[in-house]
Amino acid sequence: MTDPRLLCAVADGVMTLTLNRPDKLNAIDNPLAQALLQALRAAAADPAVRVLVLQGAGRAFCAGRDVSAAPTEDDLVLVQAVSQAIVQQPQPVVAAVHGWTVGAGLEWMLDADIAVAADSARFKLPEASLGVFVTGGLSATLPASAGLARAKALMLLGEAFTAAEAQSWGLVWQVVPAEQLAAQAHTVAARLAALQPGVAGRFKKVLHQIGLASFAQAIALESEAQRAMSAARPPEAERRD
C-alpha cells in the first residue's frame, strides 16, 4: 500500500485499513477512495486475510466526501464502487467508528457487516441540505437497519445523532468507551477470523441476498438521482459548495 491516505496492516488474518487524512477528518477524495478500493480488491484475492477492520485516524472516522470541490462523475463512480466492494467482500468487514461519521462515511459504515462505535461518535446525513443525493446503497442499507420511516427522517432532515441512538436504531452493534474502540473492534475481528474458512462469507452472502436484495438497484437509482440533481444545480450553487 503506497498511498499515505490509506494505511494497511495485516496480523493474525485481520487486515486493518485506516483512513488517513486526519487533518481533513478523513474526508473522502478520489485518491483515498481509489486506494481503499484497491485494498479491498487485493484482500478479496488473499486467502491469508480472514477479516477486515475499517477505521479512521485522528479525531473522526470519516467526515464524508471532501466538499472543497463540486462532486464529479469520477467521485460518484468511485464512492459507489467502494460501497459495492465492501458489501461484496468475501470476508466480513468490521467498521470501527469514532468522532464524526458523516455522509459517505456513514454509508460505508452501513455497508460493513458489523459496526462498533465509540460512545463519543456522532452521525449525520447532510446530503439533502447540500442538494446532492445519498450514495453507497444507503437507500437500501439504512431502511434495512432502521426502518423506512426513520430512514426518511434521517436522510431528509439531516439531524445529527449520537452513538447511543445509532445503537438503539440498529445501525451499530456495540457502543464502547472511546479508549476501548480499537481493542473491541479487533476482539470482534478475532472472533470472526476464528470461524472455519468460508463460514462468514457464506452467511454474509445469503443474508445479503435476503436482507439487501435491492442493494444493486439502490446503487443504480442513487447514481441516476445524483446525476440528475447535479445537472439541475445552478452554477452559483456549485460555487457555494
Active site residue 224: no
User: Which one, of 2, 3, 1, 4, lies nearest residue 23 by Cα?
Assistant: 4
- Do 167 and 123 contact (CB within 8 A), yes or no? no
Q: Which DSSP letter does residue 198 get?
A: T
**Closest to 96 (Cα-Cα) out of 60, 63, 135:** 60
Please say whether the beta carbons of 200 and 92 come within 8 A.
yes
**What are 178's three cell numbers?**
472511546
C-alpha span between 106 and 169 (Å, rounded): 14
- What is the DSSP-derived secondary structure letter of residue 194? T
Active-site annotation holder among 127, 165, 179, 236: 127
Active-site residue, selected from the candidate residues 107, 159, 165, 224:
107
In tens, the pLDDT along 20-54 reads: 999 999 999 999 999 999 999 999 999 999 999 99
Identify each DSSP E strand in the chain by its residue range. Answer: 6-11, 14-19, 51-56, 93-97, 100-102, 114-118, 122-124, 161-162, 174-176
Q: What is the mean pLDDT of residues 62-90?
A: 92
* C-alpha cell, 128: 439533502
Domains of the chain: 6-180+196-240 (3.90.226.10)
What mean pLDDT value characterizes the chain?
94
Amino acid at 186: H
91 grid coordinates: 470476508
Q: What is the pLDDT of residues 120-179, one digit of tens each?
A: 999 999 999 999 999 999 999 999 999 999 999 999 999 999 999 999 999 999 999 999
**Percentage of the chain modeled with pLDDT above 70:** 97
Q: Is 127 a catalytic residue?
A: yes
pTM of the model as a whole: 0.94
